[in-house]
Structure 1
Amino acid sequence: MNADMTVVLADIGGTNTRVALGRGTSVDLTSAKSYRNADYSGIGAVLRRYLAETGARPQGCCVAVAGPVRDSAGRLTNIDWSVDREMLHEATGAETLAVLNDLQAQGHALGLIAPENLTPLLPGQPASPRSARLVVGVGTGMNAAPVYRLGDRTLVPPAEAGHATLGLRSEDELRLFHHVSRLHAGAGIEHFLSGRGFERIWNWLCSEDGVSDEKPAAEIMALMEAGDPRALRAVETFSKLLGRVCGDLALTTLPFGGIFLIGGVARHFGPHLVTHGFADGFRDKGRFSAFMDQFPVHLLTDDYAALTGCACHLSEQVDLID
């Protein structure tokens, strides 16, 4: 890829969009700006504003969206925005264009994450640098994406894993599922493993105790840290379920190169996961329990990983053209 080629990169979340310039696989963090989605009609308007402010004339553009992507077109899950290559070309004038799911973008960045932005949770075992990896996002929603290296290319297939059905192992979990399903027909994994999912687990535990005491996730975590028994049960339930789901995904994709947890909820739970049931849930695979010890698990805390992944993907696209 031409190292002098300027690209514009965007990470579109449910509330804000972060935009920056890049060259090659590098992101210029001094150029990064954040925009409130509610102030704009769509990503095209955000990009036009950014380019007007910076005066940049990019030759490439890649955006990561928090929603499903198919054939280089995506729709945001939590806001009424859509994006495709034609829209990006009209907004930026760039010729090399790409649209990724936000988990795909994170996956493309894994090879460039600094060690200080990775916190080991489970050690795993050494593996080939060509081994598959897995990104699991837990925040406003939940999703996962496998990451494969094919020669000098990275393949990150999109997925909507958060809408799969949660596996249940006990009478308690069945009661939790029925509690959530009464309000959310067809409840999927992210109805339990997300910020709101954590609150639903708390509400279920309150109902089990015959009380009503709805609280936001941050207050529940504060209660747990203060020693509240019910809040501790909520954290343990969430951690064990997350471990089990990550274990299921590990058996599906065999990511011997590691599992990388991302997202705001994953970060807040990070210090508590291993000590409050994640490892037990992860290894709860019967005769395959020992097999699970092969997979390292890390907490990824790089705020700009999605932008880096966009740059990496765009770089590979340009190399293909060249």
Structure 2
Amino acid sequence: MVDSASLFERAASAPPVPSGLPLVIALTGFTDAGGAVSQLIEHLRDDLESLPLAVFDNDILLDFRARRPIVTFDGDKLTDYQPSRLEFSYARDAVGQPFLMLTGYEPDFAWEAFGRAVLGLAEQYGVSTVTWLHAIPMPVPHTRPIGTTVSGTRTELTAAHSVWRPHTQVPGTVGHLLEYRFAQRGTPVAGFILLVPHYLGDTEYPAATLAAFDSISAATGLVFDGDDLRARNKEFLVRVEEQVRESDDLTRMLHGLEERYDAYMAGSTSATPMVHTGDLPSADELAAELERFLASRPTGDEDKRPGPLG
């Protein structure tokens, strides 16, 4: 059995942390439709005042051959090496409210030991609630709000925000494991699954990250500045809608998605209309139609983010 205490190193100059703070968990891994979680992590780390409390050991938890570190090659030499980061941190939101966050990659190994380590840190810091997020592709239109499926023990959040409540078995993530373990301990926990348009699943879709922030705010009362994301999303949607207008096939496809979404939200009795695709297009078909407009980025963006379609 792996010793959970060996999985991380405590920060040497960690600040004093008040007890009773909410914990936000954002880990990339099995699915991240629309780049919702990866963009969320970027904003949490870069835009907020945060300090690591514990840094997890990549050599124990990460498969480097599956997720390789980034190196910078400059002419005849290497000038930078950027390993992946998995950190438990103390942060403040846009109005100065403190909270804790666990951000980074989903571990490839030692899930149970990782879970024990996270629960131990949460207990040490007296975490009040736990909120985690991930995003999956769904046959829904981008012209409607991004919905969520909410799991966990906070029934008030499920009642208010869960638009789809399936009875099924799915491949688990470490987020599911953490939710399950926190629930066993009696910690109030909520998991938000963002339902992202499947044809935009391989893009960096700013609306998906805005929906992630909205979910965190609903669960914790934390406040985030989404002005940059809203501006990016407005530009993104203009480009999508231009392409839709130019294609009769895309227009018909989008109308089909809208009709099924609206029927579902109105309480249609049709069998699982949100997941029964029938004659609806596949993600690949829609992505191929959109590629001409969405594959290009303004000059300068290529060195910041991967291309929207891979």
Q: With the length of structure 1 as denominator, give the TM-score of the two structures.
A: 0.32
The structure carrying a bigger helix percent of its residues is 1
Q: With the length of structure 2 as denominator, give the TM-score of the two structures.
A: 0.32
